[in-house]
Amino acid sequence: MKITEHISSAKGKTLFSFELLPPVKGQSIQGIYDAIDPLMDFNPPFIDVTYHREDYIYKQHDSGLLEKVSYRKRPGTVAICAAIMNRYKVDAVPHLICGGFTREETENALIDLQFLGIDNVLVLRGDARHADSGFIPTPGGHAYATDLLQQVVNMNNGVYLHEDHDTAYKTQFCIGVAGYPEKHFEAPNLKTDFKYLKMKVDMGAEFIVTQMFFDNSKYVEFVDLCRKNGINVPIIPGLKPITSSKQMISLPKIFHIDLPEELSEAVAKCKSEKEVREVGIEHMIAQCKDLIKIGAPVLHFYTMSNPGPTKRIAEAIF
């Protein structure tokens, strides 16, 4: 079932969903089940599974020489989606990223997803490798999320990379894209950011999932600007509670977001990490209650595969 259909059938009721990380290579899928089981009481209609680009590691040989090796730390997104759908009977939404895939590999992955009965994808450019100063496309792959989006749209129209007949199957993916209430950090200004977001919707994106934010006025302003710019698809707020004092520095640094003064001041007064976690959860509960009042279609939690804080929040609001 498509995300847009889930939202439409809810008839104005705010839904609950969350995002998971694939386990680190060498771990079992039981970790995924352990992250999902505590949250199933809140009836998520869909669960996102992230995709991570390959990175490089250096292996030292007996000779002392270092060999640069391509390494994917968290593989298994497609298989995890299939396992989730089989075990929990809910829709799984895999992320699709540009980095690490050629166009042919992307097409093959989309064919696998279609054969598995997966109806939704979240199309992203993806992050740069840790050792790279900026995003570097894979040779033969896509440089921008718009290019990746176009490939999915083409398949929805029955257009494949190397097929020229008129009987190719038309896939039916419901395509989501990312939105940034506080502007994508690489965009020169908000107007330019909106221009590309509008382009994605005009190309065929059917829903937007936002970057995390901690001030609901940012979301309200973002939705208002979207509507004024002719972007009328559902806009799903992405959410993550503060759970440690380190995040007061790491989240703004990594995700280029602002934290409200009242939140940072409350955390500064905490005498332990347990108190910080409680402050973060209480702030998010209040934030979620307000988002429900203003009609957010879904509350989408970035759990990092740690269900505890999200469960506490969901118990307070659903």
- Residues annotated as catalytic are 19
CA distance 260 to 268: 12
Helix-, strand-, coil-residue percentages of the chain, each rounded to 5: 40, 15, 40
Pairing of strands 235-236, 207-210: parallel
| Helices of type H across 211-306 | 216-228, 247-255, 261-268, 273-293
Of 303, 274, 292, residue with least CA distance to 37: 303
**Contact (Cβ atoms closer than 8 angstroms) between residue 17 and residue 32:** no
Task: Assign 264 to helix, strand or coil.
Answer: helix
Task: Assign 66 to helix, strand or coil.
Answer: strand
